[in-house]
Amino acid sequence: MRHDRTPELLTKSTLVTDEAETEALRARVAALNSRYRHHGATDVLRGALTDPEAGRIAMVSSFGAESVALLHLVAMVDNRTPVLFIDTRLLFAETLVYQAEVAERLGLRDVRILRTDDETLKARDPYGALRFSDTDACCALRKTVPLEAALQGFDGWITGRKRFQSGSRAALEFFELDEPTGRIKVNPLAHWAPEDVRAYMDENRLPRHPLVAQGYPSIGCAPCTSKVAEGEDPRAGRWRGADKEECGIHIVDGRAVRQGESA
């Protein structure tokens, strides 16, 4: 298992700045959505990994409450697909154990564990208290920084996001463009409902994250994740009490949110 430790933020030279290039990427994404619009998750995933229009694709997984469904699909389509797991150093111990067990059980052959290095963490968050004063900056430091570095060399990445998860995902397409980086994001499960995920996990006898049974239907970093009461939105326990739905590596209101930006 490879451990990538690359902490630097993207430089301006790595961002898409040419409008013609951006328009070409938008056209590629539109073509992909048109081509796979009436296909199921497996076909969308297979297309993402083989269609020249999609390019070189990795998967990004939190190994959270529902992650095992998409990880299983990836393992069936191509278990050599690079799977990027961000260890923020603030995760639940149960998540770390679950990640190792699921990767082994599914036979995933290229899991890459990403971390912001010690020196960068000490410089930007010496006391581990950044999450109390600026959750966006904390997410950027511990998630966006190592992920953006690890995605160098990839044209896009697979996510497990679904339309039902929050208001900002209600119109989620199978393929979307992260314009600041020029990468394509693939959402094979965009149209799945909660019952689809549960049925798939049951049918394939996939292991549940141990915290789900304890009242955590959506699982992130331990300090920013709380239990969800019956009847609450499944993501209500993420950043509870804060005006925040995403960790900064996803699209909010049609654009990517980075450190120092607002939603």
Residue recorded with tokens 């430089």: 11
pLDDT of 180 over the 90 cut: no
Cα 37 to Cα 180: distance, rounded to the nearest angstrom: 25
pLDDT at residue 242 in the model: 64
pLDDT at residue 249 in the model: 57
In this prediction, residues 118-138 reach a mean pLDDT of: 93
Q: In Å, how far are 16, 56, 92, 138, 175 from 31, measured between CA atoms?
A: 19, 17, 40, 36, 9
Of residues 72 and 53, the one with the higher pLDDT is 72
pLDDT in tens, 5-60: 333 333 334 455 588 889 999 999 999 999 999 999 999 999 999 999 999 999 99
- The first and second tokens of residue 66, run together, are 């529902």
pLDDT in tens, 222-261: 999 999 988 888 878 887 766 555 555 543 433 333 333 3
Q: What is the mean pLDDT of the chain?
A: 85
pLDDT at residue 255 in the model: 37
Q: Residue 247 catalytic? A: yes
Domains of the chain: 2-256 (3.40.50.620)
Q: Of residues 138, 221, 224, 247, which has the active-site annotation?
A: 247
Pairing relation of β-strands 255-256 and 251-252?
Answer: antiparallel
Cα 34 to Cα 15: distance, rounded to the nearest angstrom: 26
Amino acid at residue number 135: T
List phi, psi (to 5°) of 39. -100, 160
8-state DSSP, 33: H
**What is the pTM (predicted TM-score) of this model?**
0.82
Amino acid at residue number 96: L
pLDDT at residue 17 in the model: 52
Name the band, by pLDDT with cuts 50, 70 and 90, for residue 103: very high
In this prediction, residues 106-119 reach a mean pLDDT of: 97
Helices (H) and strands (E) in the chain, counts: 9, 9
